[in-house]
Structure 1
Amino acid sequence: MRSLIALLGITAVFATPQTPLTVNKHAWDAVPTPTVHLDDATFTGEIYYDTAQFLGIPYAEPPVEDLRFRPPKPVGKYVGDHNATEWGFSCPQQRIKIPGKKDPNLAKNLDSAVDPMYEKDVPENEDCLTINVVTPLNAGTTANLPVLVWIYGGAFEFGGTASYNGSSIVSRATKFETPIIFVSMNYRVNGFGFMASKEVKAAGVGNLGLEDQRLALRWVQKYISAFGGDPKKVTIWGQSAGAISVSLQMIMNGGDNEGLFRGGIMQSGGPIPVGDIEHGQIYYDDVVKKTGCEDATDTLDCLRRVPYSKLKGAIDESPDIFAFQGLVLAWLPRVDGRVLVEPPQHSVLGDRVADVPFITGTLCFGLIALSVTDVHLRDFLHDYMAPEATDHELDLVLLHYPSFPPAGCPFDTGFRNNLGPQFKRIAAIQGDIVFHGPRRMMLNFNLARKEKAWSFLSKRSKWVPYIGSYHGHDLSNSFGTGEMRDYIIRFTVNLDPNGRVGLGIPWPNYEVTNPKALVFQDNALFPMKIQTDDYRKEAIEFAGNLSLIHPI
């Protein structure tokens, strides 16, 4: 399988594992092989077009054997000579089951859409905590360049760095004389990185994937100057689960970001409405049972000792992003009392968030609950979205989200894209609770008053059959040749997405009293516009409030 979520993307704009450049080779004959010195070690990278790439550098000890299900341990002092021309292993990927048996064309469209997120070409291994650095060819150790750190998405179930080649971004920035450095890290996903239960909570080992990201950011502070980067000018950027991760890095530690970054970019994701880590008990218990650990005195210790293949197989059987429950994911960050001490939206309301400028935006989300009918929708909401909601609250959900396909997501597509009796309706509900509500809440509650913020909405690709304007289509606008790439570069350099070079139109910052958003749309003459960010105001406010009361 080559695929998945939240999470989706356009295949053509991503690079798979690379070989050294062979085209236009003579242009670089005089350029020496790039090297970098870290501690007492020399890392040799490779030239890729007009960039230097250093791949697969370990930033933590391998999280295997007794270090499985433990916080990442910083790598020791580097010594010796190292080849940094190959991607490191991808972290274990959860097996995704694409729906669409009755319609092969649907399955084909879903598989094509999710393809870039899923690590197929790089082998999986628990020894996966590596980091990659891409620099301009002429960057020296005294260049002090701004640094853009990428956190990949994948529903916290899969994903890896080899799917995202930052060289095009570095090249683009250099072309406009605003050079930057691109960094990406692998972090643990699914049950390996987000195991959740009372046992995990008691042991203090929840949210390990977030801790991996944090340790990688500390590595950047320690070593990026050796590549020509300025540790004081770091921007963190992510899409989907990566964007959610950016918001949580801003929220962790009571909002103290330890000086690890000065700005954040959240592309289709924000402070999700998650509750206590014991909400994942059912999935933990299932993994324990399937691995034969249910009779162990210490089930967590037993899981550390079971063979990798058995543990991976058990995790693969847990619900994935295409399961009936949709965005109520089995594996995701949850409140563990240590890494996350309260539901993320509570941190937003309490102004316990890093005081940095940010960009945040979103689009639609679908591909879930294809078979739910009007009669069973209330049961679906009660069983999965809000088990403790009152009958009155569920009545309000149904009132704000009518059973009329043109009113559902993808919006403005009429009766098209309604893959099931209640598909577009549920897509609107889950999309507002998990994406639109948190985004607008983060903008409106104090953050936009303290630091500058910019908001966007992507409405492109509504023409795509079955899954129009699917979640992840915006990736081509960032890693491809789209306008968002230039906004990201300018923000990384100046903490402002506006500037004189590159593509785009003026993007006003978001103000609570005058909320404006940049809209990307399917219009050849006017691909972008500025509009007031008040669409579906009542429904989104209701969804946000519901998720505050009943986190998933």
Structure 2
Amino acid sequence: MVFLQLFVAALLSNAVQHSIAQPTHTPSPVVDLGYAKYQGFFHEASRVTNFLGVRYAQEPTGNLRWRAPTTPKKVVGIQPATSQPPRCFQGNTGQGVTAPSPINHRRAETLAISEDCLFLNVYTPGDIDSVKKPLPVVVWIHGGGYALGGATGFFGADTYDGNDLIREAGRGVVAVVIQYRLGLLGFLSSGQVNQNGDLNAGLLDQQFALQWIQTHIHKFGGDRNHVTIWGQSAGAGSVIQHMIANGGRTNPPLFKGGISSSSFIPSQYRFDDPIPEATFNKVVSQLNCTSSPDQLNCLRSLDADTLQLANSAVSAGAFFGTFNFAPVVDGRFIQQRPTVALQQKKINGDFFLAMTNTNEGALFVDANTADTVHVPTYIHNLFPALTQSQVSAAAAQYAPLGTPITQVNAIMSEAILICPSHYVLQAFNGKPAFKGHFAVPPAGHGNDLSYYFPSTNGPLSFNNTAFATAFSGVFLDFARFFNPNVKSGPTITPHWDSWTVSQRVEMLFNRTEAGAPDVREISSSQDQLRRCQFWESVSANTAQ
């Protein structure tokens, strides 16, 4: 569990527990969703109407496990929407063979977790009844390797507070924060799941939430025809999944703009490939369902706490810093590997903004192996289907970068967290697309979160007002106008050229040694682009 604790500490440095102020005046707003009426509250400090814990899908329990989400059952009376929802069951990051995790291992939780977790939060500037013109909508999809997180972040130590997004947008958006099934319950894959269930349940939850937005967001003052989806890490990976969903032809369209902050595209196997099947068999074995004539129904018959034990144990058994449960190619919702779909320009959405951090990978590499790590062995563990010649070629790409630990940090950074953004940018060539680079030291994975949600994610790594305004502002300006060059207010960010294959430019967000903001346009690193081209060339074997 040491790695998991370090993961959270690094991702959410000095995070503080956040609680929403309760309503201070009546009457509170009520919205009728057809299946239920929800009563939110007006947050006096931010002057934003909050609806917290709104159910968007029926509880996915019992026979509904590993099935697509469905419309909630009708309930009578007014439901309170004044407190954060329980998070979905939490998994683990891979800890390899150095940290075995017995099946009876449980992790202490500071906030409620539940299998009944398909809720979302909606935030509207001012009083929803006073919104005269529908506002652009920004949808936040949380990260956590498809195993961790929720509307209340990691361990409940932070909240993805839509009040922050509305403030940074100059009160020009409606914000939505969604939850989705994680780990074993969201991404269990095998031929059996395909035959008697639905693959990629966690992604289907996200799509169902986006469909809910199309149906209901006007009741909160939002414009369903102006939706931007934005995520960080696995949330950014989710944005890319929705871009390639349904063969790039989701109909009706669910969004126009996409923002990826540290896009996360790990190996994405076909649902019945050996590795997903092996993971399914581990789950079945740990839960004593191997001899059952219907192993999936055996799993459905178990209580949620028992499933959670296997969720934690099996996910912890993955190679260090990786995740056992992740999206797969299911042939329907996700019809091709992301790299293939993007090469063929099969994409939903018309506008794209990508932000990557300089040192994305170090968080997912065991620093204790600095003196012993063998680069080819690491590459093989990360991508076991690579041939020996491909492993050697990959190692040769990174040999000039320094020590072995520096090399494997860069491999994790680029292969899984940086290069996928470039593949999307290439697919958008000819459409408005923008590339940013967050470089404020240490510029690690997750160091940008405190700029998006400053009220609940601790101090900024560079506490400079002009920089913070410029950096956080570009995302919300993009959400409002689909163009970071149209500003909500004064900013030091200069004109930002669109990224194209002939003009590969990105906006640098950094600080000088003297402590001043350094925000300027730069050319994309040619060496990094060359390495990304290598990973793209072997993507059939990395399963990306």
**TM-score, length-scaled by structure 1:** 0.84
Is contact 2:35-2:72 (8 Å) kept?
Answer: no
- Counterpart mapping for 1:137-216 below 5 A: 137-140=126-129, 142-162=132-152, 163-173=159-169, 176=170, 179-216=172-209
Distance 2:52 2:324 in 1: 31
Report the counterpart of residue 36 of structure 1 in structure 2.
31
Residue 86 of structure 1 pairs with residue 83 of structure 2:
yes
In the alignment, structure 2 segments of 5+ residues that lack a partner are 100-106, 153-158, 455-467
| CA shift for structure 1 position 494 | 0.8
Aligned match for 1:236, one of 229, 237, 244: 229
Indicate the SS of the match to 1:56. strand
Aligned pairs for 1:334-483 (under 5 A) are 334-363=328-357, 364-366=360-362, 367-370=364-367, 371=369, 376-382=374-380, 384-402=381-399, 405=402, 422-445=404-427, 447-449=428-430, 451-462=431-442, 469-480=443-454, 481-483=468-470
Residue 492 of structure 1 corresponds to 479
Q: Is 2:306 the counterpart of 1:318?
A: no
Task: Count residues in correspondence.
Answer: 500
Matched, 1:531 2:533: no
Given residue 233 of structure 1, which amino acid in structure 2 is its aligned partner? H
Post-superposition offset of 1:526: 3.0
How far did 1:290 drift?
Answer: 1.0
1:315-335 CA distance string (max 9 Å, x none): 1112449x64433x2011111
The residue type equivalent to 1:297 in the other structure is: P
CA distance in 1, matches of 2:499, 2:373: 41
Please name the residue that 1:24 is paired with: none
Aligned-pair distance for 1:63? 0.5
Q: What is the rounded CA distance, in whole Å, between the counterparts of 1:375 and 1:470 in structure 2?
A: 21
- Which residues of 2 match residues 264-303 of structure 1 at below 5 A? 264-269=258-263, 272-277=266-271, 278=273, 279-303=275-299
Amino acid at match of 1:136: P
The alignment-based identity, stated in percent, is 28
Match of 1:68 in 2: 65
Matched letter for residue 448 of structure 1: N
Q: Tell me what 1:410 maps to.
A: none
- Counterpart of 2:412, as a letter, is Q
- Aligned with 1:318: secondary structure? helix
Q: 1:515 to 1:95 in 2, by over 3 A?
A: closer
Q: Distance in 1 between matches of 2:387 and 2:453?
A: 44
Residues 1:123 and 1:152: Cα distance change in structure 2 (over 3 Å): same
Q: Any idea what SS the aligned residue of 1:220 has?
A: helix
Q: TM-score, normalised by structure 2?
A: 0.85
Is contact 1:38-1:78 (8 Å) kept?
no
**Which of 511-520 and 193-202 deviates more?**
193-202
Q: Which residue of 2 aligns with 1:304?
A: 300
The 2-side partners of 1:490 and 1:512 are apart by: 24
Deviation string 1:463-522 (CA, Å, 9 cap, x unpaired) is xxxxxx321101122222553321121111111112341434122211221111011213
Question: For the structure 1 residues 263 and 214, does the alpha-carbon distance in structure 2 shift closer, same or farther, using more than 3 Å as the test?
Answer: same
* Matched AA of 2:423: M
Bigger drift between 539-548 and 236-245 goes to 539-548
Instruction: Measure how far apart 1:369 and its partner are.
Output: 3.8
Deviations 1:251-292 (A, max 9, x none): 111112322111110110055552212332222111111111
Kindly tell me: are residues 423 and 133 of structure 1, through their superposed partners in 2, closer, same or farther at Cα, counting changes over 3 Å?
Answer: same
Asked whether the 8 Å contact 1:486–1:502 carries over to 2, the reply is no
Shift of 1:548: 4.0
Shift in Å at residue 3 of structure 1? Answer: 5.5
* Offset at residue 230 of structure 1 (A): 0.9
Amino acid corresponding to residue 217 of structure 2 in structure 1 = I
Query: Quick one: distance in 2 between partners of 1:209 and 1:171?
Result: 30
Contact 1:191 1:315 survives alignment (8 Å): yes
**Is contact 1:146-1:234 (8 Å) kept?**
yes
Alpha-carbon contact 1:3-1:119 (below 8 Å) kept: no
Residues 404/490 of structure 1: CA separation in 2 closer, same or farther (3 Å cut): closer
Secondary structure of the structure 2 residue equivalent to 1:170: helix
Which piece of structure 1 moves more, 502-511 or 254-263? 502-511
Q: Which amino acid aligns with 1:44?
A: Q
CA distance in 2, matches of 1:43, 1:551: 43
Q: For structure 1, which segment, 345-354 or 193-202, has the greater mean C-alpha deviation from structure 2 after superposition?
A: 193-202
- DSSP 3-state at the match of 2:413: helix
* Aligned residue in 2 for 1:415: none
Change in 2 beyond 3 A, CA 1:250/1:33: same
SS across alignment from 2:314 = coil
List per-residue Cα deviations over 1:65-110 (Å, max 9, x = no partner): 11111111121446421111011111001145889x99xxxxxxxx
Alpha-carbon distance change, 305 to 40 in structure 1, aligned in 2, over 3 angstroms: closer
Amino acid corresponding to residue 425 of structure 2 in structure 1? L
Which has the higher mean CA deviation after the structures are superposed, 345-354 or 196-205?
Answer: 196-205
Q: Which residues of 2 match residues 43-58 of structure 1 at below 5 A?
A: 43-48=38-43, 49=45, 50-58=47-55
1:153 maps to amino acid: G
In the aligned structure 1, how far is the partner of 2:345 from the partner of 2:135? 31
Q: Deviations over 1:111-154 (max 9, x none)?
A: xxxxxxx9944300101001110111233364311111110000
CA distance in 2, matches of 1:96, 1:210: 19
Quote the residue 2:116 is aligned against: 127
Inter-partner Cα distance in structure 2 for 1:51 and 1:392 = 57
In structure 2, relative to structure 1, the CA distance for the partners of 1:39 and 1:205 (3 Å cut) is closer
**CA 1:478–1:36: 2 relative to 1, 3 Å:** same
Consecutive unaligned residues of structure 1, counting only runs of 5 or more, are 22-27, 103-117, 407-421, 463-468
Give the Cα–Cα distance (whole angstroms) in 2 for the partners of residues 87 and 354 of structure 1: 31
Q: Is the 8 A contact 2:265 2:420 kept in 1?
A: yes
The question of 1:16 aligning with 2:18 is answered yes
Secondary structure at 2:326's aligned position in 1? coil
Cα distance change, pair 152–339 in 1 and its aligned pair in 2 (3 A): same
1:284 & 1:369 partners in 2: Cα distance?
A: 26
User: 510, 513, 516: which one pairs with 1:521?
Assistant: 510
From 200, 217, 227, the equivalent of 2:220 is 227
CA distance in 2, matches of 1:401, 1:294: 43
- CA–CA separation in structure 2 for the residues paired with 1:395 and 1:374: 18
Q: What SS class does the counterpart of residue 354 from structure 2 fall into?
A: strand
